[in-house]
Amino acid sequence: MKPPVRVAITGAAGQIGYNLLFRIAAGDMLGNDQPIILHLLDIAAAQHILNGVVMELHDCAFPLLMDIVTTDDPLIAFTDIDIAILVGARPRAKGMERKDLLSANAEIFSIQGKALNQAANRNVKVLVVGNPANTNAYITLKNAPDLPIKCFSAMLRLDHNRALSQIALKLGQPVSKIKKMIIWGNHSSTQFPDLSHAEIDGKKILSLIEDQSWVEAYFIPTVQNRGTAIIEARGSSSAASAANAIINHIQDWCFDTKKDDWVTMGIPSDGSYDIPEGVIYGFPATCQAGTYHIVQGLEINNIAKLKMFATYQELLEEKNAIKHLLPRQ
């Protein structure tokens, strides 16, 4: 039997938590031969709900679930962990922009970054989901200076999956055939869902779409605003699809992306595609041996460059709004 992997989930008593924990414990994320120890963090006021979730986890009698740690202390939650999924945050309510949540969440992710720095395994994989995810990931990594920068990522996989499905619906093709999608930038409405590299059966998808106006008029805004549309429809933000995207993101990071494809990950910019260092940005990425790499060498036209820069600008504004909360370097 393999040694157990310790997976921390913050905001574990929330709605994404409820859609995520059972799938992880069932083996959907790390495989059906991988024992798991869950470290579940939530605030003190949510511990009674968390206890109920733990009762249900026990009631599933998952063979892979070796132990469950529950706590409201990030240091306990992050001790010796291999994977951290940082979901816990204040969700956006109707009419709120992600930027409005910046200060409220900056404090949470500062504390958690420090706790990760102190207690997590040195090769921990950290995925930030709580919004605004890119900037929260940046705050987390800035508070964890002893961990390699490549330990950190933010979730744009839900946007990537949304884009795949819109194309699959448009072309009447299975999602699995659509490759090389990209969501550049921020997990927000400024993101740039870019179809120009996407392929199906080796053919450029743009060449298969007869009404080219559909891309600008429908595809891009639908993907950009899907989170808001779900909040309007459900009264609360996406949960099952977010949990599914978390599983996809961690699975690819741990077990490699497919040979003929890439995924979108929010990762620290390194100057690639003229996106300056110092933000967590959605890039096309491949993963090998537990490490992600930005896909290099894609041709970017001038219109795309402008869109990529606009979403970068928003990230810069978010960073400027919280920079007084970052530790001095």
> Is 131 known as a binding-site position?
yes
Ranges assigned E (strand) in the chain: 5-10, 36-41, 65-71, 83-86, 125-128, 152-154, 178-179, 182-184, 192-194, 199-200, 203-204, 263-268, 280-288, 291-294
- What DSSP assignment string belongs to 17-75? HHHHHHHHHHTTTT-TT--EEEEEE--GGGHHHHHHHHHHHHHTT-TTEEEEEEES-HH
Cα separation, 89 vs 197, whole angstroms: 34
| Residue in the block written with tokens 């990760």 | 116
**42 touches ligand NAD by CB under 6 A:** yes
User: Is 187 annotated in the active site?
Assistant: yes
**114 touches ligand NAD by CB under 6 A:** no
Range 113-123 burial, b when 16+ CB lie within 10 A, else e:
bbbbbebbbee
230 binds, among ligand NAD, ligand LMR, none (CB under 5 to 8 A by kind): ligand LMR
**140 touches ligand NAD by CB under 6 A:** no
* Per-residue mark of binding to ligand NAD, 72-111 (x: CB under 6 A): ---------------xxx-xx---------------x---
Contact status, residue 272 vs residue 304, Cβ threshold 8 Å: no
Number of residues that bind ligand LMR (CB under 6 A): 9
Within residues 211-240, the interface with ligand LMR by CB under 6 A covers 227, 230, 237-238
**248 touches ligand LMR by CB under 6 A:** no
Within residues 116-155, the interface with ligand LMR by CB under 6 A covers 131
Whole-number minimum distance, CB 289 to ligand NAD, in Å? 25
The two structure tokens encoding residue 34: 């991988």
Cα separation, 206 vs 182, whole angstroms: 13
Which residue, 73 or 216, is less far from ligand NAD as judged by CB? 73
User: Looking at 39, 160, 187, 197, which residue is catalytic?
Assistant: 187
The two structure tokens encoding residue 236: 């609360």
**43 touches ligand NAD by CB under 6 A:** yes
* Per-residue mark of binding to ligand LMR, 46-65 (x: CB under 6 A): --------------------
Of 165, 189, 192, the C-alpha closest to 273 is: 192
14 binds, among ligand NAD, ligand LMR, none (CB under 5 to 8 A by kind): ligand NAD
Which residue, 89 or 147, is less far from ligand LMR as judged by CB? 89
| Bridge partners, residue 281, by sequence | 267
Which residues are annotated binding-site positions? 11-17, 42, 92, 98, 105, 112, 129-131, 162
Catalytic residues: 187
Binding region for ligand LMR (CB under 6 A): 91-92, 98, 131, 158, 227, 230, 237-238
